[in-house]
Amino acid sequence: MTTVLGCIADDFTGATDLAGLLARSGVRVSLRIGVPSEPPTDPAAFEVIALKSRTAPVVEAVAESRAALKWLQAAGAQRFFWKYCSTFDSTAEGNIGPVAEALMQDLGTDQTIYCPAFPENGRSIFMGNLFVGCQPLAESPMKDHPLTPMGDSDLMRLLKPQVTKPVGLADRLTVARGARALAAELAALKSRGVAHVVVDAVANSDLEVIAEACRNMKLMTGGSAVAMPLPACYLADGTLSPDAPKVRTPKLGTKTIVLSGSCSAMTNKQVADYTSRGVPAFQLDPLALAENGPQKALDWLAKQDLEVAPLVYATANPASVRAAQEKLGVAGAGEIVEATLSACAVAARDRGARRVIVAGGETSGAVTKALGVTQLDIGAEIAPGVPWTYCHSGGHEIALTLKSGNFGSETFFSEAQTKLEFL
Ligand code: ADP
């Protein structure tokens, strides 16, 4: 199999989100954590490389993205997708524009599109302005983001200082006239030297038009949603064979561990729901961990029946989190919890757990690292943006699901397990 679309994502949960949407097509999608050190041997039709470049220095983000591009080209890809956040998270220096321009240069192409819209999640673009729900981006909570505060809602104005070539707009009135009209507008803009085109989208049907018009561009850029219709486009035009390998659902052992390090409002509800079912659960206290280490938790876990999917969690309400952070520092408390949950993941795997459910973005990063996971095949979706994945850890194939912050419904932990039973 050669890769049909090579994707580069600027963070891990963004990569999972994109991979999950592509896998809705039923075609095999593979996610790599970082640029693989080995050349591709068994590439999937859709390859997604997760970088950690959103807030990295521009030079680093560009270099990593170029390395990812090279690997994807070696996998046979001729079309590429640069995925960033649907709220266009970036600073005035970059990294969205500089990475796009570097990739365009390497690919020898003189135009790309920018479409971070995700209408189902309330991200829409009209006349080049990005809205979060009913609010313009710069009036949304994103204005106060600690790392990438967004002080402007106009994507063209945001992009201009990040790139060297002209920026333009294909507006909603053009998109509403269909794929041919949009393709003609892009060609007209190209003839005027416009290299970077922001494209409006306010509904899923707009995304279908954009994907249809842009499916053969060497480089598309955007949020995950505009890539969602691409597999269907490639199947329809024969770029992707109907015999392309499908999403896999290997039969794995039923021993399960649930690990929760997220303290989001939804994860608090999910932990409450799961413990109310009488499932054995161990609550980690960061202060006790700082004093006595993780042994108590590991001893508890060693006695549990993994067939009933016990839970180890640090999830707590904001007051308890603050109390721990005041004593240990924000990073200190986080690291202690992440290290303990990672040790629990490894211990459970070594005792036969083949299903691992993790809540928390940073927590997921720490647990995958501890499990030595570098490649995941995307499986069935449990909740929007949260698929089951299959990967290798310690010589075993395991199912792993990584849920960030507020994703999933209140019953997520039990739903995730039920989902595997019915595959
Ligand atoms: P989310 O996806 O909800 O943002 P993350 O895992 O990314 O979750 O971030 C949660 C952070 O909070 C992690 O670093 C985790 O170790 C830390 N943490 C978890 N529980 C506690 C707690 N009780 N006190 C302080 N920090 C905690």
In a shared domain, residues 315 and 225? no
Same domain, 57 and 167: yes
Of 202, 236, 270, the position where a domain reaches its end is 236
Judge whether 316 lies within some domain.
Answer: yes
Ligand 1 atom 10 nearest Cα: 262
Three-state DSSP state, 231: helix
Q: Do 31 and 110 lie in a common domain?
A: yes
Q: Report how far residue 122's alpha carbon sits from residue 392's, in angstroms, rounded to the nearest whole number.
A: 35
Q: Residue 403 CA: which ligand 1 atom is closest?
A: 2
For residue 360, the CA-to-ligand 1 centroid distance in Å is 7
Same-domain check for residues 273 and 371: yes
Rounded to whole angstroms, the Cα distance separating 396 from 390 reads 10
Same domain, 177 and 29: yes
Q: Same domain, yes or no, for 332 and 232?
A: no
Output the CA 286–ligand 1 centroid distance in Å. 10
Residues 17 and 110 reside in one and the same domain: yes
pLDDT the model gives residue 383: 87
Ligand 1 atom, smallest distance to 366 CA: 6
Domain for residue 241, yes or no? no
Q: Is residue 245 part of a domain?
A: no
Q: Which of 223, 88, 55 is nearest to 155 (CA)?
A: 88
Taking the chain (423 residues) in consecutive chunks of 10 residues, what is each chunk's mean pLDDT? 95 90 95 95 95 91 98 97 90 90 98 95 94 93 81 95 97 98 98 98 97 98 96 96 89 96 92 98 97 97 98 95 93 94 98 96 92 95 89 97 87 94 74
Residue 121: CB within 6 Å of ligand 1?
A: no
What is the domain-level CATH number for residue 380?
3.40.980.20
If asked whether residues 232 and 311 sit together in one domain, one would say no
CB of 17 within 6 A of ligand 1: the answer is: no
- The count of domains in the chain is 2
Ligand 1 pocket residue status of 404, Cβ below 6 Å: yes
Rounded CA-CA distance 274/409 in Å is 12
* Residue 243 forms part of a structural domain: no
Ligand 1: residue of 262, 311, 338 to mutate (most ligand atoms within 8 A of CB) is: 262
pTM above 0.85, yes or no: yes
Check if 360 has its Cβ closer than 6 Å to any atom of ligand 1.
yes
User: In this predicted structure, what is the pLDDT of residue 351?
Assistant: 97
Residues 272 and 185 in one domain: no
**Is the CB–ligand 1 distance for residue 333 below 6 Å?**
yes
Query: Which residue lies with its CA nearest to atom 11 of ligand 1?
Result: 334
Cβ-based neighbours of 168, under 8 Å, separated by 6 or more = 156, 189, 192, 194, 196, 197, 198
One domain for residues 278 and 211? no
Tokens standing for residue 312: 């180890």
What range defines the domain where residue 331 resides? 256-421
User: Is 244 within the bounds of a domain?
Assistant: no
**Whether residues 170 and 265 fall in one domain:** no
242 within domain boundaries: no
Domain presence at residue 118: yes
| Ligand 1 center to 36 CA (angstroms) | 28
Ligand 1 in contact with 408 (CB < 6 A)? no
Between the CA of 383 and the centroid of ligand 1 the distance, in Å, is 21
Work out the burial of residue 418: count CB atoms within 10 Å of its CB; fewer than 13 is exposed, 13-18 middle, 19 or more buried. Answer: exposed
Predicted pLDDT at 170: 98
Is 414 touching ligand 1 by the criterion CB < 6 Å? no
Residues 185 and 279 in one domain: no
> 246 lies in a domain?
no
